[in-house]
Amino acid sequence: MGIKIFYAGKAKSPESISELVRALLDRATALRWRLKLVDEDLKGNFYPSWGEICSRIPTEEEKERFHIEFFPAMVSANSNGYYRIIDSPFANPVREFFRRGEYPHFTLDTHVKGIILYPHKNCDPLDFVFDLKTKELFCYEFDEKYPDVIHGYPACSCKTQFAGFKNHVLVCKTVKLAENFVDFSLIDDEALYYHSKDLSTGLKNFNEKLQAIREEVNRMNERGGPSGWVTFAGDEI
């Protein structure tokens, strides 16, 4: 839940990664943003974001709408066997794990390079870190409890909800700058400003979505918290 911009893609060339880092370093300096340069090996147990488990038996309409699949071998005291698989390079391997009744797990051995920007104290970091083997944006985080565990996500995201619309615009313009160096396969701005570049419409959408989030939080508080159902793409089922 929140107002975010999602992005995924691949560097146009190996040289583009270094060029992008220099461009974003200059931008961060001009805007007085904190930053972190990344250039490191990544090795460990890798757990990509494979999807979600449905905590109750879905209807036929829900199965079709949310692309929920049933895996008989996964049925246990803790699972009814229904999962939504995220469309990613890991989708088919994940399905093979589930067909065998196993929880998905992978190993990782690669090198990543890039830059992480910190636009605002109330804003998520803005990551531009690439897997040098594939040139793809690599969206990951380390597990706090297990140092050898790395979690991966199908797209990078930056939540701007608590930083205000002005900072949302600055984040969008930074992603726009990156288009010179990255072939994006996904750019999804939940405030709908990025592609329109219309400040008044973007501000209206930002405020409306913010209000909708507040109302949903109030409803959840009134009923004593979340229903316990899994959410798919922002919809509760």
* Domain ranges across the chain: 4-44+111-220, 51-99
Give CB contacts under 8 A, 24+ apart, made by 95-101: 95/69, 95/71, 98/69, 98/71, 98/73, 98/74, 99/71, 99/73, 100/73, 101/71, 101/73, 101/74
Range from 57-61, 64-68, 97-101, 212-216 carrying the lowest mean pLDDT: 212-216
Higher pLDDT, residue 222 or 215 = 215
Q: Give the percent of the chain with pLDDT over 90.
A: 68
Degrees, nearest 5: CA angle 208-176-111: 115
3-state SS, residue 155: coil
Supply the DSSP string of 178-219, one letter for each residue.
HTTTEEEEEEEETTS-TTT--HHHHHHHHHHHHHHHHHHHHH
- Per residue in 118-144, pLDDT tens? 999 999 999 999 999 999 999 998 888
CB contact at 8 A, 19 and 200: no
Res 105 pLDDT > 90: no
Reported as a pLDDT band with limits 50, 70 and 90, residue 65 is: confident
Residue 27's contacts (CB-CB under 8 Å, 6 or more residues apart) are 33, 117, 174, 177
